[in-house]
Structure 1
Amino acid sequence: MHGSSSRIVGGDLASVMTREGDKVSLICQTDGKPDPTLTWTKENRNLSNPKQGRKHTHLLTLVREEDAGEYRCRAENPHGSANKTFRLVVQSTPNHMGTMVPLLVGLFLLKVFFCFLLILATFWFSNRQKKAPVMREDTTRG
């Protein structure tokens, strides 16, 4: 029986950049006779049971920051083995609430300041009217 060593098509290293919430497919295409058995690991932790075949996809749905790291597919048959490493970089999505909070606090403080000015002006005008001299007509002359 004649065979060939396992190999992974497309090199042994790939960098993948994505954003939080995206879907990512890590594709490992293998070659060899007999068909290699492929396993996926993330930082030396098994992610799946070994599978036989030529093309395997590790799918990550709704990617989170903690999904970032090194993923490795390993193709192996009786004639040899090969590895491919995927470096997954996850960019965090901007937190719009982080920019909204200072804006909302500022608007609230501005509203409080204007209410204070309105109360102060009302108080000042009401006191001014109380102190103003009242002009009366003298009805005793005549």
Structure 2
Amino acid sequence: PSSPAGLLPPPNTTKVVKAPKGRVRVEKGFSQLDWAKLNRSGEVDLRGGVDSLLRVTPSELAKHNTREDCWQVYAGRVYNVGPFLRYHPGGVGEMMRGAGKDGEFRSFAVLAHAWVNYETLLENCLVGFLVPE
């Protein structure tokens, strides 16, 4: 029997549905839409206390490699991605692969996410620009 407009009734199960292979299910309240709201709100310091843009050397970048203090580089711009970790659809672990690093991870991230506009996604997380030692 079909329902009006071809719609199916809601499921009557409490079974947890696994995320597709290779994907990580994000916690409730940590979707990309939730991140967009937080990013626009201005209610949270997403820059981690950085008041003005910094000139970040590779050695300084390397110090920021923990979940609580995680910086990454995209197109020469250094972002405090710590606040974003739980919102990343690939999971915290995937993001931590690039913690405090530039180079190889950046290339992988950009190729794997060619459709992502990092400047908009992380606009309020910008802490500075990568410079040579």
Same fold (TM over 0.5): no
Whose helix proportion is higher, 1 or 2? 2
Bigger RCO (CA 8 Å, 6+ sep): 2
TM-score, normalization by structure 1: 0.25
Whose strand proportion is higher, 1 or 2? 1
Q: Rg larger in 1 or in 2?
A: 1
